[in-house]
Structure 1
Amino acid sequence: MPFLASVMLAAALTAAAEPKQIYQMSPQEAGAFIAEVRRAEPDLRKRIATIGRRNIGQPYKLNLLGEFPYELHDTLPMYSLSASDCLVFAEHTYAMALSSSWEEFFWTLQRIRYKDGVIGVASRNHYMEVDWNINNHWLLSDASSGASYAMRVDRAQFLKVQHHVQRDIPVQDTQESYLPVERALREFGTLGEGDMVEVVSVRKGQHMVTHVGLVVLDAQGARHFLHSSAPEVREEPFEAFIARTQARADNGLAGFKFMRLNEAIVVPPSAPQPRPGA
């Protein structure tokens, strides 16, 4: 066999022997992977880390998910395997870790993405502080303290501008707790595998959560930050993430919210899906 052909064959055999990352899988392959991880690893925290790491290298892309074809305000689908943004990565990882089949994953994903699991752009958990964290209190608990910020949320304006959808929703004012950077650095070591870290930044004079990621442990037990950020999903020391963020002139980094994974999680049932227009 010519040398070049033998090299190409060896490379092909090596690639075939390496397990696929999730973003390289079909839904059928992802479903089989979910079932196998659930069978092989009974510990939820370890499943979260295993599943999250099987997406390292997944391309980062904004504006990935929507309600299509259930709603027609855009053409974005209800799940994505091929790419992620920070929240899509976290939601898909949690939903897969809590499931034992593709069908259960897809249902659980919608339970996490939407208030009471009711699908719709207006019921989607758009704001981490006042939507996602509150509506997923069965999954994670806020363990942040040390400082606070005021936040005003105008969901009606957001839906009108971003999605061209009219909804009569009152403006909400809230006070949110968080950990300034130095305190977060000290307390990061208290987090467990599978916990969520939410990055609090200042944008146009207002504090808000702008990024999220998961806590994982390396072989020596050191905690790392696993997250989807341009150009792809990566795992890195928390200190390295902070240094890289602070190196940007317009970073606006204020601190973090630490969300601890609850013990003995039971995914609650979804509310009935209302008939549109009823």
Structure 2
Amino acid sequence: MKSLLLTSLLAGTAFVRAFAADPAPAPAADPLAALAAKPLYQFTELEVGAYLAHLHAAEPDLRQRIVHLARKNLGQPYELYLLGEMPFETYDPQPLYCLGKSDCLVFTEHTLAMALTSDWTGFMRLLQRIRYRDGQIGVVTRNHFTETDWNPSNRWLARDVTAELAGPRAVKFDEKIDRTRFLKNRYKLTVSIPVEDHRDTFFPYADAPTLAAQLQDGDIIEVVRGVVKKGAPANDIFGGSAWIGHVGLVAHGPDGTLHIIHSSEPKVREEPLTAFIARETAHNAERDAAGKPRLLGFKFLRLEADPLANLRQLDGPDAPRVTLPGGGRL
């Protein structure tokens, strides 16, 4: 009995000494701190949901959430034509979302949808409401043409302010939107949709940097390109062939200069609009001589003050309304 007691006491003493010698257990790492140091394009779906919940609570200003998320995706690799309707349709075998890569529209849509919600499910639903006319998922109802599909379909989110910003400097252009031909050539789909004659305006690129004080963080920049007759002024658009060929988001630098954040080969970048214009127009003479499209100007969309309230007026209290092919609800 005495021997057993001594053994027990010695064992207890050894345990106490060992406990005293070891440092206290390190506190668990803060998962949000780890996410704050990580690029958004490296997030998992679970991490996106957690980060959106944190960001929504910490930053009440929608515009600042947009710019924050856009900058958190700087460096995201670029790849064109990333998204389709899989697994719901097979015409375009790409998936409905992509976190690791982007093209200009994927980057802009994902950033806006994330900024508007506080969880993964909300992001996915809003993304489809932004991508598709009236939220109806399908290759035919996808907003393929920015000026005639995306802008009208997302009038709840942003409104076109190009004409009011440009005033007498506005340049008019015309387009013929042939969706039947487009869907046949791109997806081998046979549909019958009347050709749309579209009239629009853009702001000449040379004057665009002067709008720094009039544009707001989170506004949308749409880049208008087209073919210009050799030796003609920039507003003499050959055959009315101008179109929106690129899109990005407005931000301001520390000194107030106007920046564009956009996805372009090889990755997402932020740059002064003057730098973007200089690069785009460096070879205008050669492009005009060859009959190739080049930068003509910009359209600007002003983010609405309360997009989700606008969307509830369109979709009802359960907005966003998202419908699957065949009629089911997402």
Confirm or deny a common fold (TM above 0.5).
yes
In structure 2, the residue corresponding to 1:32 is in which secondary structure? helix
Q: Specify whether residues 148 and 188 from structure 1 end up closer, same or farther in structure 2 by C-alpha distance, changes over 3 A only.
A: farther
Contact kept? 2:109, 2:131, Cα under 8 Å: yes
Over the aligned positions, Cα root-mean-square deviation in angstroms equals 1.7
Residue 174 of structure 2 corresponds to which residue in structure 1?
150
| Distance apart, 1:17 and its partner CA | 8.8
Structure 1, residues 89-135: CA drift from partner, whole Å, max 9, x if none?
00000000001100000000000000010000000000010000011
Instruction: Pick from 190, 209, 232 the counterpart of residue 185 of structure 1.
Output: 209
Identity %: 45
Is 2:145 aligned against 1:127?
A: yes
Structure 2 CA distance for aligned equivalents of residues 142 and 131 of structure 1: 13
Equivalent-residue separation in structure 1 for 2:110 and 2:159 (angstroms): 19
- Give the SS at the match of 2:143: coil
Matched with 1:51 is: 69
Q: How many residues align?
A: 261
In 1, distance between residues paired with 2:251 and 2:300?
14
Name the CA distance, whole Å, in 2 between partners of 1:85 and 1:37.
24
1:261 alignment partner in structure 2? 303
CA contact (8 A) 2:136 2:322 kept: yes
Quote the Cα distance in structure 1 between the aligned partners of 2:36 and 2:245.
35
SS in 1 for 2:245: strand
- Give the partner amino acid of 2:296: A
| Corresponding residue for residue 275 of structure 1 | 326
Equivalent position to 2:268, from 223, 233, 241: 233
Write the distance in 1 (CA, Å) between the matches of 2:100 and 2:73: 9
Match runs of 1:104-119 below 5 Å:
104-119=122-137
| Alignment correspondent of 1:90 | 108
SS in 2 for 1:183: helix
Q: Cα 1:144–1:84, aligned 2, differ >3 Å: closer, same or farther?
A: same
In structure 1, runs of 5+ residues without a counterpart are 1-15
Aligned partner of residue 122 in structure 1, secondary structure: coil
Residue 60 in structure 1 maps to residue 60 in structure 2: no
Q: What amino acid is the match of 2:75? A: G
CA deviation profile, 1:52-96 (whole Å, cap 9, x unmatched): 111000001001000011001132000000100001000000000
Q: Which has the larger radius of gyration?
A: 2
Inter-partner Cα distance in structure 2 for 1:170 and 1:273: 24
Matched to 1:156, the amino acid is: T
Query: Which of structure 1's runs of 4+ aligned residues deviate more than 4 A?
Result: 271-274
Instruction: Answer 1 or 2: which has greater helix percent.
Output: 2
Query: Secondary structure of the equivalent of 1:192?
Result: coil
What does 1:135-146 align with in structure 2 at a 5 Å threshold? Answer: 135-145=153-163, 146=170
For 1:178 and 1:167, how far apart are their aligned partners in 2?
31
2:251 match: 216
**Partner residue in 2 for 1:81:** 99
TM-score when normalising by structure 1: 0.89
Match of 2:280 among 235, 239, 245: 245
Deviations 1:16-61 (A, max 9, x none): 7971111111111111111111111000000000001110000010
**1:136-165 deviation digits (Å, cap 9, x = unpaired):** 011111111211100100001101110111
Amino acid at match of 2:99: L
